[in-house]
């Protein structure tokens, strides 16, 4: 059990209050079924080719999703055959998740919905897959919570964990400093973010299809952003006796050879100079995702038309 000090309780209450004003996980629940299918297809791509964890690996598994939000990153996992338990402290998100599963899931009665904080959650049950993405960085004790959620993995099971990277989020932290320095309330924050970070918001909206307000609340208004580095996460894995399987973006030992007898050692990847090089590379990426993934054909056609006009 994790002891919640006064500051930890304060952060949790403020986070809940903020995310009840603007729910950050609404991606398609407010849209049509076709939007869900598009999002599901995208998810299938990155689970298969980026995470190296294809849909069939979920089939027949018992899965628990900590910080499940509105269930929009859990629903497709149930479609792939997982029996899901969704743990979410926001009662509004919890309600949307149940409604979404009832509407779209194939076997609603197979799934459980628990309206509770991860700190307070208790169970003796173990799961094939523990799922937790974009959650622990908004808490005061990400390392301790990672340890707690890892105790729910069955022997031979998996943990799918994701949070913003400390190096990649460096710019975001500077932006947050500006926002908190020159504003006094949420509405002022929204205005200054729209003025200063319009391109960032456009890019995020283009990919997540969230409202601009929910993006601003999730990135700048939210009180806590406690992002870990790659080295920290690998140490969490080691300390909790979890073998590192894969991650995206990928990391590898720069001195690794191509021999089939040479294999990645987590201990090697933990060395700061290896993860540091990778993280610096990630910070330099900025141009790879300018095409709207939901409307690729339309943009490609528009681009070709423009080229033809130039030729003529």
pLDDT at 237 over 80: yes
Residue 172 is predicted with a pLDDT of 87
Q: Which residue matches tokens 């149940």?
A: 98
Q: Is residue 123 part of a domain?
A: yes
Residue 283 is predicted with a pLDDT of 64
Residue 218 is predicted with a pLDDT of 95
Q: What percent of the chain has pLDDT over 90?
A: 68
Q: Residue 203 corresponds to which tokens in the numbers above? A: 């890019």
Most confident of 152-156, 176-180, 232-236, 301-305: 152-156
Average pLDDT of the chain? 87
Q: Is residue 130 part of a domain?
A: yes
Tell me which residue of 165, 209, 158 sits closest to 54, measured CA to CA.
158
Q: Is residue 264 part of a domain?
A: yes
Cβ(108)–Cβ(84) below 8 Å: no
Q: Is residue 237 part of a domain?
A: yes
Beta pairing class for 112-115 and 153-162: unpaired
**CA 3 to chain CA mean position, Å:** 25
Q: Categorize the per-residue pLDDT at 4 as very low, low, confident or very high, splitting at 50, 70 and 90.
A: confident
Q: For the domain that residue 108 is a member of, what is the CATH number?
A: 3.40.50.150
Q: Is residue 79 part of a domain?
A: yes
Rounded to two decimals, what is the model's pTM? 0.86
Integer angstrom CA distances of residue 106 from 30, 48, 97, 251, 310 = 19, 22, 14, 37, 51
Q: Categorize the per-residue pLDDT at 239 as very low, low, confident or very high, splitting at 50, 70 and 90.
A: very high
The 10s digit of each residue's pLDDT in 33-57 is: 999 999 999 999 999 999 999 999 9
Q: Is residue 205 part of a domain?
A: no
Q: Categorize the per-residue pLDDT at 230 as very low, low, confident or very high, splitting at 50, 70 and 90.
A: confident
Q: Is residue 47 part of a domain?
A: yes
pLDDT at 271 over 60: no
The structural domain count of the chain equals 1
The 10s digit of each residue's pLDDT in 112-152 is: 999 999 999 999 999 999 999 999 999 999 999 999 999 99
Residue 292 is predicted with a pLDDT of 52
Residue 66 is predicted with a pLDDT of 98
Helical H runs in the chain?
6-21, 33-45, 75-79, 91-104, 142-150, 170-182, 186-196, 198-208, 212-216, 230-239, 266-269, 272-284, 296-311
**CA 103 to chain CA mean position, Å:** 23
Cβ(126)–Cβ(85) below 8 Å: no
Which residues span the domain enclosing 260? 6-167+224-284
């Amino acid at each position: 059990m994790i002891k919640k000090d006064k500051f930890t309780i304060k952060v949790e209450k403020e986070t809940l209050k903020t995310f009840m004003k603007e729910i950050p996980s609404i991606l398609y629940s407010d849209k049509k079924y076709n939007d869900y299918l598009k999002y599901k297809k995208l998810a299938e791509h990155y689970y298969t080719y980026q995470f190296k964890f294809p849909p069939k690996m979920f089939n027949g598994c018992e899965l628990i999703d900590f910080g499940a939000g509105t269930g929009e990153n859990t629903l497709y996992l149930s479609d792939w055959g997982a029996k899901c338990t969704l743990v979410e402290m926001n009662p509004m998100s919890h309600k949307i998740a149940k409604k979404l599963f009832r509407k779209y899931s194939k076997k609603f009665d197979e799934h459980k919905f628990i309206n509770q904080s991860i700190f307070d959650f208790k169970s003796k049950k173990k799961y094939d897959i523990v799922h937790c993405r974009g959650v622990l960085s908004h808490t005061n004790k990400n390392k301790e919570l990672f340890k707690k959620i890892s105790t729910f993995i069955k022997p031979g099971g998996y943990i799918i964990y994701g949070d913003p990277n400390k190096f990649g989020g460096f710019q975001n932290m500077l932006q947050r400093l500006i926002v908190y320095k020159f504003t006094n309330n949420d509405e002022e924050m929204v205005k200054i973010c729209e003025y200063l970070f319009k391109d960032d918001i456009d890019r995020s909206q283009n990919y997540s299809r969230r409202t601009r307000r929910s993006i601003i609340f999730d990135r700048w208004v939210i009180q806590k952003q406690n992002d870990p580095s790659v080295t920290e996460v690998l140490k969490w894995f080691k300390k909790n006796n979890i073998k590192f399987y894969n991650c995206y973006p990928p990391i590898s030992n720069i001195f690794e050879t191509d021999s089939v007898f040479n294999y990645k050692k987590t201990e090697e990847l933990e060395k700061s100079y290896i993860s540091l090089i990778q993280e610096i590379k990630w910070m330099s990426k900025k141009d790879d995702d300018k095409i709207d993934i939901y409307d690729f054909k339309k943009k490609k056609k528009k681009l070709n038309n423009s080229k033809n006009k130039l030729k003529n």
